[in-house]
Structure 1
Amino acid sequence: MDRKVYGLITNELLTVLPQEWKQVIFYGELTEGGFSFDYYVNIEGDLFTQCFKLEEVDRGDILNTFRKIYCIILPLWKSLDKGKQWSNFTFILNRSGVFKAEFDYTNLQENAYAYYQKWRERYLK
């Protein structure tokens, strides 16, 4: 993905972040038939709060943001050859604007939940 796409994703995430956020870690899974997104926000210390547990953010707004992000990345994902389509990606954004994106190609059809648990252990420690 190019910088423009990361900018679009950032703009969408900014609409569903609490004012005091320091860092956001976004997780996205994409398959031919759908998607699963989640994000975690660091507000203070080393603790991250899952998006749906943020009191000041509306659940409907989060779901709408997820749909918008899906519409941003789906055409790019579909343009990749089948063997080069990633199964999930992680987007880490700091309040200063510094970001990092990582892509993974693990087949998640067999045990997506176990993979997600390992992802959480890695990124949210």
Structure 2
Amino acid sequence: MTIKLFQKIYEKLNVYLPEEWEKIVYYAYYPTDDSYDMKFYVNVDQKYKSCFDYINHYKIADLFSDIDDLIYPIRETMNDKWTIMTITVEKNGKFKTDYVYDRINETEFFKKWESQYLK
């Protein structure tokens, strides 16, 4: 994965961010090569809100499809494909990307993920 890809993902998300955002946490889960689950959370006033609080569900589906169109071709060329990618972006431009390569139970994993990234 490249910085150019992260920038393109951020540009897609930025369209939907409230002006007062402080931090974004983006989550992409690919349980198989043919399916994905994505979400993002926005920190405003020290509290995280789900993307579903900001965006109409139809627009979210289009947004995540557009992001998958960016990720999928790159991910397909990888020998060791990640299962989960988390990108955190702070308003000051600092960002971090984490990957999980193991197959996981999403429900159990997501509880741990929330406590790690949305605190």
TM-score tier after normalising by the smaller chain length: over 0.9
After TM superposition, the score normalised by the length of structure 1 is 0.88
Distance apart, 1:52 and its partner CA = 0.4
Question: Which digits, 9 at most, give the CA deviation of each residue in 1:35-76, with x for residues without a partner?
Answer: 10011100112x10011023xx33322221111110100011
Question: Corresponding residue for 2:116?
Answer: 122
For structure 1, the residue ranges without an aligned partner over 5 or more in a row are none
Moved over 3 A (4+): none
What's the Cα RMSD here?
Answer: 1.1
Contact 1:87 1:105 in 2 (8 A): yes
CA distance in 1, matches of 2:24, 2:38: 13
**Equivalent position amino acid for 2:57 in 1:** R
CA distance in 1, matches of 2:58, 2:23: 22
Question: Corresponding residue for 2:56?
Answer: 58
CA distance in 2, matches of 1:112, 1:85: 17
Percent identity over the alignment is: 27
Correspondence for 2:84 among 82, 88, 96? 88
Question: Corresponding residue for 1:33?
Answer: 34
In the alignment, structure 1 residue 42 sits paired with structure 2 residue 43: yes
**Equivalent position amino acid for 1:89 in 2:** M
CA distance in 1, matches of 2:59, 2:18: 12
CA distance in 2, matches of 1:114, 1:42: 23
Contact 1:22 1:43 in 2 (8 A): yes
Distance apart, 1:107 and its partner CA = 0.6
Correspondence for 1:97 among 90, 93, 96? 93
CA distance in 1, matches of 2:2, 2:77: 14
Look up the SS of the partner of 2:26 in the other structure: strand
CA distance in 2, matches of 1:2, 1:27: 16
